[in-house]
Amino acid sequence: MSEQRSVAANRPTVHFDPTNASLIENPHRVFAEFRQRSPVVWNEAGFWIATGYDTVRSVIIDKRNFGQGDFIRNIQLYYGDGFDVFAHSAYRWLSEVFVYQDPPRHTRIRGLVSQALTVRRVREMRPDIEAITHGLLDRVADQGSMELIHDFAYRLPTLVMCNMLGIGADEADEALLTRLNQAIADAFLVLEMRPLTTAELELANRQTDFLESFFGEIFERRRKQPRDDLATALLHARDGDSQLTEREMITVAIALFGAGFETTAHMIGNGVLVLRQNPQEWQTLVATPELAARATEEILRYESSLIATYRTAFNDIEVGGQTIQAGERVLAVLAAANRDPGMFPQPDTFTIEREGAHHLAFGGGIHFCVGAELARLEGEIALRALATRMPALEVVESTPQWRPGFMFRGLSELRVRW
Q: Tens digits of per-residue pLDDT, 283-338?
A: 999 999 999 999 999 999 999 899 999 999 999 999 999 999 999 999 999 999 99
Say if residue 406's pLDDT is above 50: yes
- Read off the pLDDT of each residue in 221-249 and give the average, rounded to a whole number: 86
Say if residue 241's pLDDT is above 80: no
Q: How confident is the model at residue 240 (pLDDT cuts 50, 70, 90)?
A: low
Say if residue 54's pLDDT is above 60: yes
Question: Which of 260-269, 339-348, 406-415 is the least confident region?
Answer: 260-269
Q: Are 343 and 255 in contact (CB under 8 A)?
A: no
Say if residue 249's pLDDT is above 70: yes
Q: What is the mean pLDDT of the chain?
A: 92
Q: Could you write out the DSSP letters of every residue in 169-216?
A: TTT--HHHHHHHHHHHHHHGGGGSSSPPPHHHHHHHHHHHHHHHHHHH
Q: Helix 155-165 crosses helix 246-259 at what angle (to 10 degrees)?
A: 150
Say if residue 114's pLDDT is above 80: yes
DSSP E strand boundaries for 317-417: 317-319, 322-324, 329-333, 394-395, 401-402, 411-413, 415-417
Report CA Rg, the chain.
21
Residue pLDDT, tens place only, 340-362 = 999 999 999 999 999 887 999 99
The number of folded domains in the chain is 1
Element (DSSP H or E) covering residue 219: helix 198-224
pLDDT at 6: 44
Q: How confident is the model at residue 5 (pLDDT cuts 50, 70, 90)?
A: very low
Beta strands 401-402 and 145-147: pairing type? unpaired
**Short-list 78, 55, 70, 46, CA closest to 332:** 55
- Count how many residues are written for the chain: 418
- Read off the pLDDT of each residue in 49-71 and give the average, rounded to a whole number: 96
Q: What is the CATH number of the domain that holds 351?
A: 1.10.630.10
Q: Kindly report the pTM of this predicted structure.
A: 0.92
What domain range is 29 assigned to? 2-417
94: number of CA atoms within 13 Å, CB side?
Answer: 24
Amino acid at 282: W
pLDDT at 312: 95
> Between 10 and 333, where is the model more confident?
333
- Read off the pLDDT of each residue in 64-80 and give the average, rounded to a whole number: 93
pLDDT at 397: 82
pLDDT at 193: 74
Q: Give the three-state DSSP class for 355.
A: coil
pLDDT at 2: 42
Q: Alpha carbon of 313 to those of 99, 295, 306, 363: distances in Å?
A: 16, 35, 21, 17
Residue pLDDT, tens place only, 120-138 = 989 999 999 999 999 999 9
Say if residue 9's pLDDT is above 70: no
Amino acid at 356: G
Distance CA 399, CA 108 (A): 45
Q: How confident is the model at residue 7 (pLDDT cuts 50, 70, 90)?
A: low
**Short-list 282, 288, 302, CA closest to 354:** 302
Residue pLDDT, tens place only, 378-390 = 999 999 999 999 9
Distance CA 64, CA 96 (A): 21
Residue pLDDT, tens place only, 132-185 = 999 999 999 999 999 999 999 999 999 999 999 899 888 889 899 999 989 998
Question: Phi-psi bin for 417: left (phi > 0), alpha (psi -120 to 50), beta?
Answer: beta
Distance CA 210, CA 214 (A): 6
| CA quadruple 278, 284, 290, 294: dihedral sign | negative
- Burial of 336 per CB tally in 10 Å (0-12, 13-18, 19+): buried
